């Protein structure tokens, strides 16, 4: 599975309140409406610059903070194909795969805002086409890949009739 995209970059320790401010988390239930407010406290124009299929790139500890699913849901609804970061807060990581939002872990130090990227999940590579760099990504576990293919945990559950049977 290959995907080409433009990258939008953020720094380290982006918490879920930066992804979607608490003033919106509790007032807005519609994920589409939430998505127009992503990163508004960091950059009020951020959401308007996102194109469907973009890859969001960040540093360390992306998604720390609240365990609510509004943050990954708003990012998915905004159109991000994937989020690449050095690492993710564990609850954000799990919530993202639960809803079918792909996360990849790799060294993001050399990627700049606006670089063209190619993500190849099958080969566990993220290529910065703009710089000619090829970065190794942490391979995605089989179950997480299956969740992504099925649209998240609920999609998996509907497709497979539950969680019975063999999970590789």
Residue 168 or 57, more confident: 57
Q: Per-residue pLDDT for 147 more than 80?
A: yes
Full DSSP string of 30-58: -HHHHHTTTTTTT-TTTGGG--TT-EEE-
- pLDDT for 2: 60
Is the pLDDT at 163 greater than 90? The verdict is: no
d(C-alpha 119, C-alpha 148), whole Å: 15
Domains of the chain with CATH codes: 2-139 (3.20.19.10)
Average confidence (pLDDT) over 72-97? 95
φ and ψ at 71, to 5 degrees?
A: -65, -55
Least confident of 52-61, 73-82, 151-160: 151-160
Across 149-160, average pLDDT? 90
pLDDT at 16: 93
Q: Which residue has the higher pLDDT, 69 or 135?
A: 135
Among 50, 62, 57, 46, smallest CA distance to 109 is for 57
- Tokens for 58? 């960040």
The yes-or-no verdict on residue 167 having pLDDT over 90 is no
Query: Within 10 Å of residue 32's Cβ, how many Cβ atoms?
Result: 11
Quote the pLDDT of residue 27.
Answer: 86
> pTM for this structure?
0.90
């Amino acid at each position: 599975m290959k995907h080409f995209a433009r990258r939008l970059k953020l720094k380290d320790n982006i918490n879920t309140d930066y992804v979607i401010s608490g003033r919106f988390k509790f007032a807005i239930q519609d994920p589409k409406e939430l998505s127009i407010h992503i990163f508004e406290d960091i950059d009020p124009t951020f959401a308007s610059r996102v194109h469907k299929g973009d890859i969001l790139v960040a540093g360390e500890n992306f998604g720390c903070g609240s365990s609510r699913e509004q943050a990954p849901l708003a990012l998915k609804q905004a159109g991000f194909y994937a989020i690449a970061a050095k690492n993710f807060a564990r609850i954000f990581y799990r919530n993202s795969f639960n809803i079918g939002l792909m996360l990849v872990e790799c060294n993001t130090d050399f990627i700049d805002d606006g670089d063209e990227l190619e993500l190849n999940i099958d080969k566990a590579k993220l290529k910065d086409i703009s710089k000619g760099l090829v970065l190794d990504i942490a391979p995605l576990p089989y179950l997480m890949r299956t969740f992504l293919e099925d649209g998240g945990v609920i999609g998996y559950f509907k497709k497979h009739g539950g969680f019975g049977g063999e999970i590789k």
